[in-house]
Amino acid sequence: MSNDISPADQQLIDATAAHVRALHGQDTTGHDWWHIHRVWRNAQLIAAGEDVNRAVVELGALLHDIADWKFSAGDIHAGGRAARAWLERSGARPELVDAVVEIVDNVSYKGAGVPDRMASPEGRVVQDADRLDALGAVGIGRAFAYGGAAGRPMYDPEREPELHASADAYMNARSDTIGHFHEKLLLLHDRMHTGTARRIARRRHDYMVQFLERFHTEWNGLDGPDA
């Protein structure tokens, strides 16, 4: 595989970035343009150390959240169809279209008990890049942004987190935002594919653990003046 991007592919990447920015510019769920931009940047960083086709990586990163199933009535193939429609309309060659659609269709986390099904090294780079943005300080902010937009409670201490065994169970769950940390976010650092992502994820994971410790201290009123 080549890390070089042809002028034609760069033109397609630039057009795709503009297209995605127009689609996601007003999002307030944590899946906005700047999330996609960070994933794009993460993917470029990770790809620099991997033997991958960079055009596939960058297009996969830019299109990874187009028609996300969470906003498409649970249709897990809506994103792939939307990505294919855009790329074909833009004149992308068929093998490039297929490679990017495979990434878009398989990038999402679908439950603790559901294995990742990302076959290509390019897809694994994009998946790592996306998951990094669900961790750390930004990941915390995004979790609460999405929870509020989805009408989920911040925390329900009477509800136990669930490690979902199937995609259907995960997609139909109504967890609180703190529960979501245990059902997804705290599990991601062990599911990174690349060494670069694992190193970054470890630090971001540790920060989230510290945040949750502080959250529960305050929730339980254990941070009084004499604490």
Q: Please tell me the predicted confidence (pLDDT) of residue 1.
A: 43
Structure tokens at 185: 């976010």
Residue 44's alpha-carbon distances to 53, 110, 171, in angstroms, are 11, 24, 29
pLDDT in tens, 98-111: 999 999 999 999 99
Domains of the chain: 7-219 (1.10.3210.50)
Q: If you average pLDDT over residues 172-194, what whole number do you get?
A: 94
Q: Please tell me the predicted confidence (pLDDT) of residue 224.
A: 79
In this structure, the chain runs to a length of 227
pLDDT in tens, 134-182: 999 999 999 999 999 999 999 999 999 999 988 888 888 888 999 999 9
The answer to whether 130 and 106 are in contact (CB under 8 A) is no
The answer to whether 164 and 113 are in contact (CB under 8 A) is yes
Element (H, E) at 182: helix 177-183
